[in-house]
Amino acid sequence: MTEPGDTVAEVDWKAYEAEAIAAYEAASTLDELNDVNVRFLGRRADLPQSLRQVRDRETGKALNELRTRLEQAHQQAAQRIGSLGFAEALGESVDVTLPGERIPRGRLHPITQIRREVEDIFVGLGYEVVDGNEVETVEYIFDKLNMPEGHVTRSPLHTYYLSDDVVLRTETSASQVRTMEAKQPPVYMVSLGRVYRRDTPDPSHYPIFHQVEGLAVDKGITLADLKGTLQLLMRRLFGDERDVRLRTSFFPFTEPSVEADVSCFLCNQKGCRMCEYEGWIEVGGAGMVDPNVFQAVGYDPEEISGFAFGWGLERIFLLRHGLTDIRMLWQNDLRLLRQF
């Protein structure tokens, strides 16, 4: 065993090398390796000390070569310990040949899907997509839509009031008024979003749901344009063979008002449970914009005319998939959502 401080001549370099190599090989942690390094290559170890003192070339060359060998031994040991540490970090349970874990992929909610589908159809027809306000004033949701005082929809039993004159919108129709106030005809717009009503949940009601509102205002627009547009929409949504039927109805903001039906796509009008053996399924309200609404936004009803419609997106979705309960769309049950 060599002792630190021995002079060049006194050190048995063969033994020094053998001892060092054995120590490098035996080191099993980086701390141990560091100690070995200090002992054999550190500033005060025999080899570096001797290298500083040595005068003759032969010995210098031999000691330099020895130092290179020890440095290599150090490097190999460092690599060995490094990869040991890596294996430890991975843990023994990792089998890199096993297939990876499946990461579940998210998808859009069915209502978002149908919303985008309807938006795309109208964008394709040159309509503008407009955002509405979910929180709306009584003025815009009721007054300017020609709803008289005392109309049932104005009742707090029907509508969520946030204050005397601010409500959660009960329909998307106020977006018509805001759009017309903001621009001059021609107007071709759709507005899609949530609406709120004080309804008790049952298979066909839920206090929140979605509507698509459509409005076309131009010179010479007629009920035939409305029917053609709705027919196109129905065919895109329910298949090319579908027909649309308009029945008279009433809404304060349209005159005349209609209820639109689509021919039953389940039985092809032979009669089934879906269409209640009628051959026709009701999809939603529509009509020609009432002159009072035009006046409220400063349009001249003598100059222009227009049609409008407002349909529930949930209803369209349920019909399309033969589902019977709107509540399903709000329960976020992955077993259902995964299917769409």
* Residue among 308, 313, 318, 326 that touches ligand DAH (CB under 6 A): 308
Stretch that binds ligand DAH, among 80-88, 107-115, 155-163, 303-311 (CB under 6 A): 303-311
Span interacting with ligand DAH, options 106-114, 230-238, 307-315, 329-337, rule CB under 6 A = 307-315
CB of 334 to ligand DAH, least distance (A): 31
Q: Which residue has the tokens 């998939």?
A: 321
Judge whether 245 and 263 are in contact, CB under 8 Å.
Answer: yes
Report if residue 251 touches ligand DAH, rule: CB under 6 A. Answer: yes
- By CB under 6 A, is residue 132 in contact with ligand DAH? no
Of 114 and 145, the one with the shorter C-beta distance to ligand DAH is 145
Name which of 46 and 314 has its Cβ closer to ligand DAH.
314
Please select the residue that binds ligand DAH; options are 49, 159, 179, 254, rule is CB under 6 A. Answer: 254
Window 281-300: residues binding ligand DAH (CB under 6 A): 285-287
Could you write out the three-class secondary structure of 17-48?
A: HHHHHHHHHHCCCHHHHHHHHHHHHCCCCHHH
Say whether residue 309 binds ligand DAH (CB under 6 A): yes
Q: Which is nearer to ligand DAH, 20 or 288 (CB)?
A: 288
Instruction: Give the pair of three-digit tokens for residue 8.
Output: 């060049």
Using CB under 6 A as the binding rule, whether residue 310 contacts ligand DAH is answered as yes
Q: Are strands 254-263 and 280-289 parallel, antiparallel or unpaired?
A: antiparallel
What is the 8-class DSSP label of residue 153?
A: G
Residues in the chain: 340
User: Which long-range CB contacts under 8 A does 39-46 form with residues at least 24 apart?
Assistant: 40/16, 40/70, 41/67, 41/70, 41/71, 41/74, 44/4, 45/4, 46/2, 46/4, 46/5, 46/6, 46/11, 46/16
Stretch that binds ligand DAH, among 27-35, 94-102, 280-288, 315-323 (CB under 6 A): 280-288
Q: Which residue ranges make up the site for ligand DAH (CB under 6 A)?
A: 171, 173, 213, 251, 254, 285-287, 308-310
